[in-house]
Amino acid sequence: MNKLTEARDAYLRALELDRANADLWYNLAIVNIEMKDPSEALKNFNHALDLNPRHKLALFNSALLMQESGDPKFWPEANRRFLTYVEEEPEDANGYFNLGMLAMDANENAAAERWMRKAIGLQAGFRSALFNLALLYSQSKREINALPVLDELLRHHPEHIKGLILKGDILMNHKKDTNGAKACFERILHMDPTNVQGKHNLCVVYFEERDLPRAERCLEETLALAPNEEYVRRHLSIVRSKMAAMSSAGHPLTSAKGATVTAKQEELSKVKEVIEEVAEGGEEGRGVDAVGNGAGDEKNVRKSSVESLGGVGVDKPESLDNSQSDKRTKGPLSMILFL
């Protein structure tokens, strides 16, 4: 923090001598962001843009800051700034991606699809754009359109857990492909044996296959991983109640491989409800940690230039696509303009 304070003070002193320098205002805004002061950062980005309305980095980063605020009152201006940015940088996929994210926030699905497609066209394998386009299709009841997008995502990023969760959900609930869904969830657990969403959804596959003892064991293991997850406890209770009812009626607790479930559909629906939240899951967490579980949002990596001034520690810029979370992960990649 001392170095950031020193950097801020140095820029303020420099601005006393040259208040018409847009780059100084921009750099001060970046330091404000590093100091967790977004309102001051936005004011200083605006100073930079007053002096140079087409300052590319100020356009991008101020629009991103407004987008990250989550306040709809900022969306029109953020959209305008991203549009100006892509006029200046028409080959930068990140600008179009963020336009797509704003359109998704505003429920403008056609525009969101168009911008995401543009981003993917410019950057093959653009992880966040591919995932969010698939999520957009899923949320708008176009699950069949989502599958080829997820296949492309997983071709480029085979370990993308959220993509596997979403694909497994669609295969399970819309294609009735339990084998395909099982493969997705097993792949997740091969990479991360403690992934609660993947483990739970695999338990649902066992229930779908009418292997109730295996579903019970699976849910017990899931509950051990996540003892505070009420939905896991509730689903385990449902499975045990079903097992008790079938035993009392003299029915077997497992069926031959490939048999379809003939149990009451409302019970199956209850057990599947969390899987279905994958496609419909909470939007602020639409970058969901396990798609729909409301965890970290993937935001765009902040646009940056080169290091300067007073040894402020910064990283090299990298593409948005290099982080694992998927709806706008805020990256700490804020670089200072070299003056």
Q: What is the CATH number of the domain that holds 275?
A: 1.25.40.10
Give the HSE-up count for residue 326: Cα atoms under 13 Å, Cβ half-sphere.
30
| Domain assignment of residue 242, yes or no | yes
- In a domain? residue 134: no
193 found inside a domain? yes
As for how many domains the chain has, the answer is 1
- Does some domain include residue 169? yes
Has residue 222 been placed in a domain?
yes
Number of H helices and E strands in the chain, helices first, is 15, 0
pLDDT computed for residue 2 by the predictor? 87
Cα–Cα separations (whole angstroms), residue 48 to 8, 36, 96, 273:
15, 19, 23, 49
DSSP label at 92?
Answer: -
Residue pair 55/26 in contact (Cβ under 8 Å)? The answer is yes
* pTM for this prediction: 0.78
Q: Tokens for 85, please give them.
A: 């940015």
Query: What is the predicted pLDDT for the residue at 327?
Result: 52
Query: Is 147 a member of any domain?
Result: no
Q: What range does the domain containing 254 cover?
A: 159-284
User: Is residue 243, in this structure, part of any structural domain at all?
Assistant: yes
> Does some domain include residue 174?
yes
Helix/strand/coil (H/E/C) assignment for every residue in 193-262: CCCHHHHHHHHHHHHHCCCHHHHHHHHHHHHHHCCCCHHHHHHHHHHHHHHHHHHHCCCCCCCCCCCCCC
Number of Cβ within 10 Å of residue 216's Cβ equals 19
Q: What is the largest CA-CA distance in the chain?
A: 89
Positive or negative, the Cα torsion across 135, 136, 141, 142?
A: negative
> What confidence score (pLDDT) does residue 249 get?
83
Structure tokens at 72: 């709809």
pLDDT tens, per residue, the chain with 339 residues: 689 999 999 989 999 999 999 999 999 999 999 999 999 999 999 999 999 999 999 999 999 999 999 999 999 999 999 999 999 999 999 999 999 999 999 999 999 999 999 999 999 999 999 999 999 999 999 999 999 999 999 999 999 999 999 999 999 999 999 999 999 999 999 999 999 999 999 999 999 999 999 999 999 999 999 999 999 999 999 999 999 998 888 888 776 554 444 444 444 454 454 444 433 443 333 332 233 333 333 444 455 432 222 222 222 222 333 333 455 432 222 334 444
Q: Which of 224, 228, 30, 214 is nearest to 202 (CA)?
A: 214
